[in-house]
Amino acid sequence: MAHFVAATGEFVGTFMFLYFSFACQVMLQKQASDVSLANGGSSSQTNIFTALVYGLSLLVNVWAFFRISGGLFNPAVTFGMVIAGTLPAIRALFLVPAQLVAGMCAAGLVQAMFPGDITLTNTTLSPGTSIAQGVFIEMFMTAELVFVVLMLAAEKSKDTFLAPIGIGLALFVAMMGGVYYTGGSLNPTRSFGPAVAGRQFPGYHWIYWVGPLLGAMIAAGYFRFVKYFNYEEANPGQDASNEALA
């Protein structure tokens, strides 16, 4: 029953995260002065707002659903936590389908409710960005996000309750670096939902699965490395209270 309840939390949380993100991005792209280029308007202002919307939406919904399901909302994050040993594989089998269905539902509802085309939110490669570059961009950007999740949320400390802030900021920073080049997916669900709702799959859609999953493996591998060598001893006292230090 606990796995089922967690799966419902992941469904609702992923839906809320992506629904508001997609809705805002459709609005931003419709207002952009040049919508003929990949990933909508090419202005830096549009890219900044897009990254900010996704980061803030993730922050708010992770904070709301953290106690129910962990607030993962991302198969790559889920995969990374399984590899890192911080999430049971059986739980992931419940969470990932819920995340994928939620992404499709969020994209479909935005398509039905708002003027504009949901395909404006599709993650696509910009002109001049090769498929190989896209894979590596998605890989490294996702590695940043997953490692932040592992260190701030999975690794418990006195500041764990603030983890959603760091996670939201990590997505914002990563998307700022990648949104123009790849659409800044970092999340297979985020790319899969609009592609299904808009019935538009680019031939390189697979990079939005392979890149994030590889990034999750890198982050999880380094997390296990620092845990194995007791990283706490490298810089002791970081999680100690003021009373303990006195």
The band of 159, judged by pLDDT with boundaries at 50, 70 and 90, is confident
Per the model's pLDDT, the better-predicted residue between 92 and 246 turns out to be: 92
Structure confidence by residue, pLDDT tens digits, 191-224: 999 999 999 999 999 999 999 999 999 999 999 9
pLDDT at 39: 52
Q: Is the pLDDT score of 245 beyond 70?
A: no
Q: How far apart are CA 47 and CA 120, in angstroms?
A: 13
Q: Is the pLDDT score of 160 beyond 80?
A: yes
Structure confidence by residue, pLDDT tens digits, 135-153: 999 999 999 999 999 999 9
In a domain, 243, yes or no: no
The band of 241, judged by pLDDT with boundaries at 50, 70 and 90, is low
Q: How far apart are CA 177 and CA 14, in angstroms?
A: 23
Structural domain of residue 198, as residue ranges?
Answer: 2-232
Tally the domains of the chain: 1
- Round the average pLDDT of the chain to a whole number and report it: 90
In a domain, 244, yes or no: no
The count of other CB atoms within 10 Å of the CB of residue 116 is 17
In a domain, 240, yes or no: no
In a domain, 9, yes or no: yes
In a domain, 242, yes or no: no
Q: Is the pLDDT score of 32 beyond 80?
A: no
In this structure, which amino acid lies at residue 142?
T
The band of 116, judged by pLDDT with boundaries at 50, 70 and 90, is confident
Average pLDDT over residues 98-119: 94
Q: What is the pTM of this model?
A: 0.90
The count of other CB atoms within 10 Å of the CB of residue 19 is 22
In a domain, 77, yes or no: yes
Q: Is the pLDDT score of 44 beyond 90?
A: no
pLDDT at 183: 93
Distances (CA, A) of 29 to 17, 114, 197, 213, 236: 18, 13, 17, 28, 47
Per the model's pLDDT, the better-predicted residue between 162 and 44 turns out to be: 162
Q: Percent of the chain beyond pLDDT 90?
A: 76
| Structural contact between residues 149 and 81, judged by C-beta atoms closer than 8 angstroms | yes
In a domain, 245, yes or no: no
Coil, strand, or helix at residue 91?
Answer: helix
In a domain, 239, yes or no: no
Q: How far apart are CA 164 and CA 59, in angstroms?
A: 5
> Residue 172's domain is classified under what CATH number?
1.20.1080.10
The band of 243, judged by pLDDT with boundaries at 50, 70 and 90, is very low
